[in-house]
Structure 1
Amino acid sequence: MSSSMRKISCKMMLLVLLIVSMGAGLFAAQAPVSAALPDSTTVQHEGKPDLTDTVGLTAFIDGIMKGHIDNFKIPGAVVTIVKGDKILLAKGYGHSDIEAGKLVDPETSLFRIASTTKLFTWTAVMQLVEQGKIDLDTDINTYLKTVKIPKTYSDPITMRHLMTHTAGFEEGGVGYQITTDPKKLPVSISETLAKHMPARVRPAGEMASYSNYGASLAGLIVEEVSGIPYDDYIQKNIFDPLGMKYASVQEPIPASLEPYTIHGYARENGVFVRKPPTFEGGFRPAGSGSVSALDMSRFMIAHLQDGRYGDKQILKPETVQLMHAPAFVFIKGLPAMDLGFYEQRMNGLRIIAHGGADTLFSTELYLVPEKQIGIFVSYSGGEGGVAADGLARAFFDRYFPAPEIKLPPMSIETDKSLLKYAGAYQFTRRNHSDIDKFFSFLVKMNVEVSGNRLSMGSGAEQQVYAQVGPDLFQEVGSSHQIGFRTDESGKVTHMFLDFLTAIPLERPPLLDKTTFWYPLLGFSLVMFITVLTGFAYRRREIKAMPKAQKWAVRLSVVTAAWALATVAATFFVVLNMDLLDRLSRITQSLNLYLFMPIILVLLTLGMLTFSVLAWKDKYWTVLKRVHFTLVTLSAVVLCVFFYYWNLLGWHFG
């Protein structure tokens, strides 16, 4: 999706990035403003700064970007800011090619914009809507020719659901979301979507859950309704009319644009190392765009000017207004999902935005229709997601400072009415059916109560919220808000972060909670360790046992050792998989690992058999039989864990 998951803190960002974001829609998180802005950007002003003072604006942005390049280890970046139909700033920073010493050029340098590409897809959809070829509220199966969505629920999925991310799809991507091999291109959108169709896990229109698959479906519909391949449609109906000469959704990019490609780099041992580009393949409508900053200015101006750029009209004014208007409201009073754009609030302004990030690039696009302002920023590495949000907030703090907000005074005594909000929450955007599910095991956000405040995180990264309305809280020292949804009985069911419009959080069921699994897993590991230590000290005693008892003990030792090895492999091999490897291929190590839980199940079946025999034939003392039974139950717990989290077998999407 986007790199809009920014307000959670740097450490939480890394956690969420690993699990929630997949392929074209990688999410980042947000660091405190103090971390995002260098001291050098602090400028004293007499009166309110004038945005049309381009000299002052340029100096201000230069200071921020210099700090970002240095502090966040970013090799290259670009920023463009527009107001109305004018470009106020378009500037590149750093290098597009470090080895060749080539600098970033805002006119020609092609930045990978990942999920920001979706704005082209949604704009294409709305062009077909205003032509009467697509109806926002008609079953999408009406338009799909090569792929059909199962009727899992009575109500169909519509284009409105795809554009507001409320279609009800689970998330997926392990092994197929992206590729780094250009030899596998081009890839058919329809074949990809047919092969990797995620399950429908919610009725359409009920819940927002950001979906790359849904956006790709919309791109396929554009292709099949218009009769023009997706890449060609975007080129002919958006890029060409707007004069976007340095823009493409084709993969790999056309040979004529290859010299303008920005290379992606990773920081290794203190130096930048060039990494291969990633490709979306059949998911192109969700994130394949490569665009220059000046060309994105043209696109922003068209959206700010009711679909018009110069003498070209890519959308009718009423279509633009419909696209920019709230289309799905999760909690009244907080930002909504528009048709393709997601809303944000900064310093009291309504912003419609979309971002994107992959393993090497981070991008954000912000439009403020009320002020006719557009901002596009893209980074080619480093902590670009954190940097992008820092730039936006610095911009709005300078030119549109937030009104002073009075929060209720802090209380030491615990407000018991707030306790209902405390506890764990998990993102609606996650997997249910495939191995991907396991990667959400550790991704929970915990809300705690202290006095009359709610908090998330700890230490310097803690975010503290004061209540400002029924089920509504505002961050202390910021204008960000969180809201909660309750059921008819008043029980809290969901949490909503105003900077994460497309991904609410919900209370996890018991079996999704780490607080449920940790004690069971911890007890099981202790039991397995006691088996191994006991075997080391009781070898002579075991050797003298009858044959059946001896085999039972040996099986318990093998099972305990195998269980410990499987747990270690799960957390140190599977969870630590490189993100690029995880999303682009099924590695040999993952395939081999998946034999381990299956072998554990077979060993556990043997343990269950011997447990019955131990009580039936009265092996050992009662205490030792109890211990053997507890070890067996521990193995059962581990098998259930692997089964529940889709690690038992090869569950690939």
Structure 2
Amino acid sequence: MREYNRYKGLKQLSVSLLVVILLLLLAVPARAAERGADTAPSGTPLSSLAAVVDTYVAARRQTTAAVSVAVVNNGETVFNQAYGFADIEHETAADTGTVFEWGSCSKLLVWTSVMQLVEQGKLDLHQDIREYLPKGFFQKLKYDQPITLLNLMHHNAGWQERATDLFYFAEEDVPELGEALALFEPRQVYEPGNVVAYSNYGAALAAYLVELQSGQPFYTYVKEHIFDVLGMEHTSIHPAQRDNEAVYAARNKIQGYTTKLKLIKKNRGFIGIYPAGSATGTAGDAAKFLAALMPAAGTTSPLFRSDTVLKEMLSPSLNYEGTDIPRIAHGFFEVNHTVPALEHGGNTLGFSSKFTIDPASGFGMVVMTNQYNEWEYCAGLTDRVFGTYKPQASGMDLPDSVQVEGEYQSARRVIHGFTKLLGYLSTMKIVSVNRNIIDYNDTPYKQIEPYVYVPVRQSGFAYFVRDAQGAVVKVSNPYFDSFPLTGLAAQRTGISLIAVGLGALLIMLAMISGFVRWIITRFRRAAKPSSGFNKYYLWMNIAGLAFIVNTIILGYRTLNYTTYSAIRIHLIGNIAYVVLTAGYIMLLMMKLRSIEAGKVSKIMYILSGVSALLFSAIIIGWDLYY
């Protein structure tokens, strides 16, 4: 009987242990079970990964400058290879020692640094950041609500975009981070927490908080607490790579190109708010960073004292409005491949990058190219390795896609200031393909829920927010919100182009008329008594031509990343034109009846006034004066 009881006890213990083991297995995140430890999320065996990448690159050889790819799995780098030419003109081949600019992927260093200080109790994600900043630091806030570090991580602190003072082309022109932030401060245009609008300023501001709380320049802090800790000897974040002279020298050996392999002559810029996009290094070093975010089982990340804060950083912190669908994880963007993943992309003057990780399985990938706005690798190759998300309709009765059709304007744009026109020239169009599929900027999206569309061939979400009547009021993707463009706002660009065209035509008519009159007078050799108003008329038309030339130069310089101080003269010129117009119109109204001139001349005087008014309306309407 004693033996039986012992056997019975062992049996119960075995059953209990089995139950515990099963519970532990069930506790492992579901996405980690979707792939084996020796495969990529797409199902590609790691042993075949080199062949897959080699084949992918070979098929695009004619449109590739250089691309560097590194893959990590379970805390180790399992693939690291570079392809193509770092410098096509000099036939300098890229290798694993070639450095590339991270662009906005640099922000991951900011968020990691912030979370390190959170772990140390020096920063609080929920504290108003004004408590950490010098008094009077902000000059352009519109709302009194607190701005927290979470707002900075979620890009919803409310700032508009800036199109000037981001890049400098001389190292000596780059100010210190605090001064750069003061120069670059954009207007706050949205209430904090309400609108996601990707913000370089917000990320750089978070880095400045790290600088203030640590007592070190941000680039020094990152070098000591991230690069040196991880052995990232071939990476820099100083705006001119002065924290690593080897990286500075290596950066001089690589050029930047367009997607059509055209050399971008000015492809080395110095970023004033540098923490937002100034990291430069090898893909192998970047892989070490990703591996540290996903330490191997049974180990702890060398970047944190424990796994608690690291797990918090990589967990969802913002969902799509009114849903439980993750959108942002403390600055990392939530996306969908074969598995849910976190990503960040980056672009600079001549480089593109994409970092993607699946923390649950410990798999990550770095893609870096020396081509501006490149997607064949940053998006396409990432999809190939991580797998393409295949949406499944929920089976519910879905509304017709025509309800979301229309033109949308990104919240990430300039709303006040002379560059706000750019936001109207880059709107997003959504066209209904069939009942449950839309074409969203040349990408097919499939509807899976009444408010949610997912790309058919890529990661991400398009989530539509509707009002009580069912009208779309906002569409959201991981990086920013967009709003419907309707009514006169939708026609604003077209109306402006018509106004500019009409004004230019009237000036041309005036100039041609004046020239013909001069020819006739010269051939007759008898000068016709001219109206004393002619000189005002002539100068007003010359000023109109000057306005057109001035605006073209202003646009060209702005698109070439100039500083605001360098283009202020153009804005002052536009103010002078408006004042001149006001004077001309007043003079015309006072003297038109008394002017000794024919009907045709008086009509031309009036038309020149109309032209000046049209141009002045353009200046005022598009804020071309500040």
Scaled by the length of structure 2, what TM-score is found?
Answer: 0.79
Number of the residue aligned with 2:121: 132
Mapped pair 1:278 → 2:269: yes
Partner of 2:500: 521
| Structure 2 counterpart of 1:143, from 122, 132, 135 | 132
Paired residue total: 575
Distance in 2 between the 1:49 and 1:444 partners? 34
- Once the two structures are superposed, the pairs formed by residues 322-337 of structure 1 within 5 Å of their partners are 322-332=312-322, 336-337=327-328
Describe how 1:339-378 pairs up with structure 2 within 5 A.
Answer: 339-347=330-338, 349-378=339-368
Q: Match of 2:548?
A: 567
Correspondence for 2:48: 56
Instruction: Tell me the secondary structure at the aligned position of residue 208 of structure 2.
Output: helix
- Which of residues 494, 497, 500 is equivalent to 2:474? 494
Residue 625 of structure 1: how far off its partner (Å)? 6.3
Q: 8 Å contact 1:524–1:634 — kept in the other structure?
A: yes
SS of equivalent to 1:582:
coil
1:402 Cα offset (Å): 3.0
CA distance in 1, matches of 2:168, 2:72: 34
Amino acid at match of 1:65: V
Of 483, 487, 492 in structure 1, the residue corresponding to residue 463 of structure 2 is 483
**Cα distance in 1 for residues equivalent to 2:584 and 2:440:** 43
- Distance, in Å, in 2 between the alignment partners of 1:564 and 1:449 is 43
Which moves more between the two structures, 212-221 or 438-447?
Answer: 438-447
* Higher Cα Rg, which structure: 2
* Structure 1 position 379, deviation (Å): 0.8
Does structure 1 residue 299 correspond to structure 2 residue 278?
Answer: no
Q: Provide Cα deviations, 1:563-617, integer angstroms capped at 9, x if missing partner.
A: 245235524x3333474x4245755xx4664454244324422331244236655
Distance 2:562 2:395 in 1: 44
Shift in Å, 1:495: 2.4
* Contact 2:389–2:458 (Cα < 8 Å) also in 1: no
CA deviation after TM superposition for structure 1 residue 273, in Å: 7.6
Shift of residue 133, structure 1, vs aligned partner = 1.5
Tell me whether 307-316 or 240-249 shows the greater mean CA deviation. Answer: 307-316
For 2:408, the aligned partner's letter is Y
Cα distance, 1:407–1:478 mapped onto 2, change above 3 Å: farther
**Cα offset for 1:555?**
3.7
Q: 1:112 aligns with which of 101, 110, 120?
A: 101
Structural mapping, 1:244-643, within 5 Å: 244-250=232-238, 251-253=240-242, 254-261=244-251, 263-266=253-256, 277-281=268-272, 283-305=273-295, 312-314=302-304, 316-332=306-322, 336-347=327-338, 349-381=339-371, 384-397=374-387, 402=390, 421-449=404-432, 452=435, 454-456=438-440, 462-465=442-445, 467-474=447-454, 481-496=461-476, 498=477, 501-508=478-485, 510=488, 513-535=492-514, 550-552=531-533, 555-556=536-537, 558-571=539-552, 573-577=553-557, 579=559, 581-583=560-562, 587=566, 590=567, 593-594=570-571, 596-613=573-590, 629=606, 631-643=608-620
Q: Structure 1 residue 454: deviation in Å?
A: 4.3
Corresponding letter in the other structure for 1:391: L
TM-score, normalised on structure 1? 0.76
Q: Tell whether the 8 Å contact from 1:307 to 1:313 is kept in structure 2 after alignment.
A: no
Which segment drifts farther, 122-131 or 503-512?
503-512
- Structure having greater relative contact order (Cα 8 Å, sep ≥ 6): 1
Secondary structure of the corresponding residue to residue 425 of structure 2 = coil
CA distance in 1, matches of 2:120, 2:95: 37
Alignment of 1:41-80 (within 5 A): 53-68=45-60, 70-74=61-65, 76-80=66-70
**Residues 643 and 545 of structure 1, relative CA distance in 2, 3 Å threshold:** farther
Q: Relative to 1, partners in 2 of residues 1:229 and 1:577: Cα closer, same or farther, differing over 3 Å?
A: closer
Q: Residue 21 of structure 1 corresponds to which residue in structure 2?
A: none
Q: 1:217 to 1:578 in 2, by over 3 A?
A: closer
For structure 1, the residue ranges without an aligned partner over 5 or more in a row are 1-46, 410-414
Once the two structures are superposed, what CA deviation does each residue of 1:461-505 show, in whole Å capped at 9, x if it has no partner? x44555543244455666765332233444432222x3xx22221
Specify the SS of the correspondent of 1:484: strand
Give 1:197 shift: 2.0
Alignment RMSD, CA only? 3.9
Deviations 1:144-194, CA, capped at 9 Å, x for gaps: 2376235531212111111111111122241x2122323346x42112222
CA separation of 1:73/1:371 partners in 2, compared to 1, >3 Å: closer, same or farther? Answer: same
Unaligned runs of 5+ in 2: 1-38
The answer on whether the counterparts of 2:391 and 2:446 sit within 8 Å (CA) in structure 1 is no
Distance 1:373 1:516 in 2: 51
Offset of residue 101 of structure 1 = 6.1
Give the CA deviation at 1:305. Answer: 2.9
The answer on whether the counterparts of 1:109 and 1:262 sit within 8 Å (CA) in structure 2 is no
Q: Distance in 1 between matches of 2:604 and 2:235?
A: 67
Aligned-pair identity (%) = 24
Whether the aligned pair in 2 keeps the contact of 1:438 and 1:647 (CA below 8 Å) is no
Q: Counterparts of 2:70 and 2:266 in 1: how far apart (Å)?
A: 26
Q: Give the secondary structure class of the aligned counterpart of 2:356.
A: strand
Helix, strand or coil: the match of 2:219? helix
**How much has 1:226 moved relative to structure 2?**
1.7
1:29-73 CA-to-partner distances (Å, cap 9, x unmatched) read xxxxxxxxxxxxxxxxxx9998573341101101222344x2324
